[in-house]
Amino acid sequence: MLPTIESRRSPGKARLIILVLGAALLGVLAARGMLALRPAAELPVLGEVPTFTLTDQTGGEISDRDLAGTPWIATFVYSTCPGPCPRVIEKVQAADRRLSHDPRIRLISITVDPSADTPAVLAIYGRNRNIDPARWKLLTGDPDAVFALVRGGFKLGVERDDSASPEIGPVIHSLMAVLVDGSRNVRGYYDTNDPDAMDRLVADARALADAGEKQ
């Protein structure tokens, strides 16, 4: 298509349009966490996870000391959760694929129904969800200790409601993913239902891992 008389006479205007459109595209990419990583130093410290010792799906003991020095992503699920928990698992699996299963970043999920979710139950749950126990720890423990960790440590709500609808399930809990650095500092909360938030989680986790390598 031949250029119009106006475009031939206004090269400056055409360049301005290109610059504006380019800036708009850069803004969209940056907002979605696709253009560049946010430096780890810019991530806020939102709290500190207390020390803990829980049991994973293999029956092994896992404590905060096993996670020291590396960033980790925590989520909260339970084995009989009808719908929300499987979606959380799927969203984290998608994020982990984008991270290329980076060994510098650990994954954990803490059950919010620890009375029912024994290590054996979590092992079956993990196999059914294609969760590699070497990569992703499913954790359970004493109910009082678990609920204290979720509420007091991660600052997230969890309540049992046996009158809840079958679609929701008997445990009401957060669907957030929490990014924690190698010193147990909470560096971000990410809504697993929000694609933009999961973009940020991938970028922020990678930034923390890169920063740890430089130390």
- Which residue in this structure is represented by tokens 């973009």? 199
Residue ranges of domains in the chain: 1-31, 44-214
User: pTM for this one?
Assistant: 0.80
What is the dotted CATH code of the domain comprising 44-214? 3.40.30.10
Assigned token pair, 44: 């806020």
List per-residue pLDDT tens for the chain, 215 residues long.
Answer: 333 333 334 444 333 333 333 333 333 333 444 334 567 778 999 999 999 999 999 999 999 999 999 999 999 999 999 889 999 999 999 999 999 999 999 999 999 999 999 999 999 999 999 999 999 999 999 999 999 999 999 999 999 888 877 777 889 899 999 999 999 999 999 999 999 999 999 999 999 999 986 65
The span from the CA of 147 to the CA of 113, in Å, is 9
Burial 139-172 (b: 16+ CB within 10 A, else e): bbbeeeebeebbeebbebebeeeeeeeeeebbbe
